[in-house]
Every structure is written in C-alpha cells, then in structure tokens.
C-alpha cells in the first residue's frame, strides 16, 4: 500500500480521535524524532487495533491493522531521522510494534540497511512477523540479491550471456533502489505537507 492509501484507509476506519492522534504524532516526530520512542508503542491504544479493512479476517497474517497503518505513517513522517530509532523500537517492541515497523521499511529511505531487521523477523515463529518481513521491502532487496547470485552461478558455469543479463538486471534494480532512496525525503515532505494542509 502507498502512504496515501494507508492514510485514506486509516481515516475511513479509525475513530476521529485516533486519526487526530496520528496527525499530531506525525508532526511531533517530524519536529523531534526522539518523540517516536513514547508514541510508537501507544499506536494501538490511541489509533486502534482492528483490521484496516473492516471486511478482512483478523486472523489473516497479511491483513493490515489500524495500528500497522498508524506506525507506518509515523515512521514515514520522520524521513531519514527514522533510521537511528529503528533498532531500539524493534528490539523493545511487542509483536504488533515489530510488525508495524517491518511494514514501514518499504516506505523509509534505508537502502539495504533494514535487512538485519528482516533477517531477525523471519527467524521467529510468529507468522504475522514473517509475513510483514517478507513484504515489499524484502522483495526488492531479495531481487537484487537473487540477480547477484544468478550472476555468480552463471560465471562459475561459464555462461557469460546469462551473467551479463543478470548483471544488467541487478544494476537496473540497484539504480531504482538508489533513486528511491535519494528521493524519500522529498516524497515524505510532500505527503506530510499535503496531509497537514488538509488537517
């Protein structure tokens, strides 16, 4: 889901007080990134814990929750300032907090620096964490790793044409990931400005 889709779904599902709390929190963490330490754990209590789609099955490991959406929006509002906070938020977070953080990785300017969090999550026996960890962020970074592996195997097998194609595809994926990484702050600024203007 895009940030705008998450925001729209949150506004349609959460209580007005919950929506206001998310907006206030986005502004607070944008102004002072350390505010996330107290506010991130409170997302479930303040915004809600139900499914983002009222028709979704709460037991579906892929179903988004209101607090997932709130946590993603909160971290996205921080832009680059989110990265230094992620390890501690994950380490001390409960399963719902970790799931929200993992879902946020695809919306943060991290490059491949979020992979350790994904690695930890896929080692758990919590299917919701595994599902969140293997979302869009992991897919993009696994794709790059897959092309790198294919290139190495092809070189080892003497198949230079396959190695060249894998090298080109990997380079395309790395360029796209770098472009996204370079533009996240601007995307976050535009989304936050639009959101605050409507508030």
pLDDT band at 119, cuts 50/70/90?
A: confident
Task: Report percent pLDDT > 90 for the chain.
Answer: 52
The pLDDT-based confidence of 146 (bands split at 50, 70, 90) is: confident
What is the dihedral sign for C-alpha 34, 197, 137, 127? positive
Q: What's the chain's average pLDDT? A: 89
Mean pLDDT of 77-85: 95
Average pLDDT over residues 63-86: 96
The pLDDT-based confidence of 198 (bands split at 50, 70, 90) is: low
Q: Where are the domains positioned within the chain?
A: 3-134+184-198, 141-176
Q: What is the reported pTM?
A: 0.75
Best-predicted range by mean pLDDT (60-74, 126-140, 183-197): 60-74
- Please say if the pLDDT value at position 68 is more than 60: yes
- Determine the Cα–Cα distance for residues 68 and 97; give it in Å rounded to an integer: 8
Percentages of the chain per state (helix, strand, coil), in multiples of 5:
80, 0, 20
Q: How far apart are CA 159 and CA 152, in angstroms?
A: 10
Q: Is 82 left (phi over 0), alpha (psi -120 to 50) or beta?
A: alpha
How many Cα atoms are found within 13 Å in the side-chain-facing hemisphere of 117?
Answer: 33
- Report residue 123's pLDDT band, with 50, 70 and 90 as the boundaries: confident
Q: pLDDT (tens digit, 9 = 90+) per residue, 91-100?
A: 999 999 999 9
Q: List all residues 6 or more positions away from 120 whose beta carbon is below 8 Å from its beta carbon.
A: 90
Q: Identify the band that residue 153 occupies on the pLDDT scale cut at 50, 70 and 90.
A: confident
pLDDT surpassing 90 at residue 176: no
Q: Name the pLDDT band for 134 (thresholds 50, 70, 90).
A: confident
Q: Is the pLDDT of residue 141 over 80?
A: no
Question: Lowest mean pLDDT: which of 27-41, 103-117, 155-169, 183-197?
Answer: 183-197
pLDDT of 194 above 80: no
């Amino acid at each position: 889901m895009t940030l705008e889709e998450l925001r729209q779904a949150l506004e349609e599902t959460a209580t007005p007080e919950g929506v206001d709390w998310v907006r206030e929190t986005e502004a607070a963490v944008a102004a002072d990134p350390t505010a996330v330490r107290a506010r991130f754990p409170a997302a479930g209590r303040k915004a809600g814990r139900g499914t983002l789609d009222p028709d979704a099955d709460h037991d579906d490991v892929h179903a988004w929750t209101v607090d997932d959406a709130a946590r993603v929006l909160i971290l996205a509002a921080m832009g680059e300032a989110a990265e230094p906070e992620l390890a501690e938020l994950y380490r001390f977070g409960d399963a719902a907090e970790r799931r929200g953080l993992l879902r946020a990785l695809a919306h943060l300017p991290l490059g491949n620096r979020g992979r350790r969090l994904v690695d930890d999550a896929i080692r758990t026996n919590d299917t919701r964490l595994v599902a969140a960890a293997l979302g869009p962020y992991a897919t993009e970074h696994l794709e790059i790793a897959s092309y790198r592996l294919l290139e190495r195997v092809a070189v080892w097998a003497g198949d230079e044409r396959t190695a060249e194609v894998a090298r080109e595809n990997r380079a395309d994926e790395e360029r796209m990931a770098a472009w996204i990484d370079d533009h996240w702050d601007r995307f976050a600024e535009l989304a936050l400005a639009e959101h605050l203007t409507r508030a």
